[in-house]
Amino acid sequence: MPGAWILAAVLLGAAGAALGFWFARRRQRNLESLRSRLVAVTQSSRQTGDNIAHDLRTPLTRLHADVETTLRSEDNEAHRATLERVLTEIHGMQNIISALLTLGQAEAGGMPVKKRVVDISVLLEEILELYGPSAEERQLRLQGRIAPQIQVEADRQLLARIFSNLLDNALKYVPANGLVVLSATTKGGEVVITVEDDGPGIPVEMRDKIFERFTRLDSSRTLSGGAGGSGLGLSLVKAFARLLQGDVRAEESRLGGAAFIVTLPAATAGSSRPAP
């Protein structure tokens, strides 16, 4: 009997030691993972800060030079023209700051999301109609290939912002006489919406990077007065898509240019009431 007690004590001790070792290893892995995430966040914050400083320095330099030159002039018309340029630059900087605040809120999950069943087919047709005049002005063909009565459970306003940003992007980069196609279909339990074109496309090595903050395909660092022009539009698209339990990726289009593919969960039978 004493031998059995000794054996049981040894086994319990070994089990305790093994369990303690397992917890220690798990704690170490968790700490290493946390450290890696903190390093990544720190590097991302530093890079974002550098980019913000770079993007704001350019318009501030222009404003400084413009105002200095105008102050040496007594021409009232020149003063008015300068004030108009100053207002445009300030508007662009305000857009950058507003987009950054929205992006931070979306990425942190702090943005209110009002989910309802949305007929995304109807929404996309409305967006096509809205962008028709802009496409015509740029001498572009804008086509829709949208299956009817596709429903998702999502925030209608966020959906509109996603596809408005993607169409803005396409209309900006596709040359005159080009083609932009907005399509939507279902695949399994997912809704797949694609914005594609026959423009210059996106290099393979940039297809993930373009969703990072302040990433541009060209070398220009000047502001265009909007979130898309400042390199934030696609970051917002990805953040909004993930808020809706979806995602977005960039691929080569069947038309030869770029394709942005948004996937969202399809609405289920037990989803909430349709949006008005």
pLDDT of residue 132: 94
pLDDT of residue 180: 96
pLDDT of residue 223: 31
CA–centroid distance for 180 within its chain:
20
pLDDT of residue 227: 41
pLDDT of residue 7: 58
Q: What is the pTM of this model?
A: 0.70
| DSSP β-ladder status, 151-154 and 116-119 | antiparallel
pLDDT of residue 135: 94
Within a domain: residue 221? yes
Which helix (H) or strand (E) segment is 111 a member of? none
pLDDT of residue 11: 60
Within a domain: residue 136? yes
Give the pLDDT means over successive 10-residue stretches in the chain (276 positions).
Answer: 59 64 72 65 57 68 80 81 82 75 76 89 96 94 95 94 93 91 94 95 91 70 41 89 94 94 87 53
**Domain limits at 240?**
116-265
What are the residues whose beta carbons fall under 8 Å from the beta carbon of 143, sequence distance 6 or more?
179, 180, 181, 182
Within a domain: residue 67? no
Number of separate domains in the chain: 1
Q: Which two tokens stand for residue 1?
A: 């009997």
Within a domain: residue 9? no
CATH of residue 199's domain is 3.30.565.10
Within a domain: residue 36? no
Within a domain: residue 81? no
pLDDT of residue 21: 65
Cβ pair 182, 194 in contact under 8 A: yes
Within a domain: residue 238? yes
Within a domain: residue 80? no
pLDDT of residue 198: 93
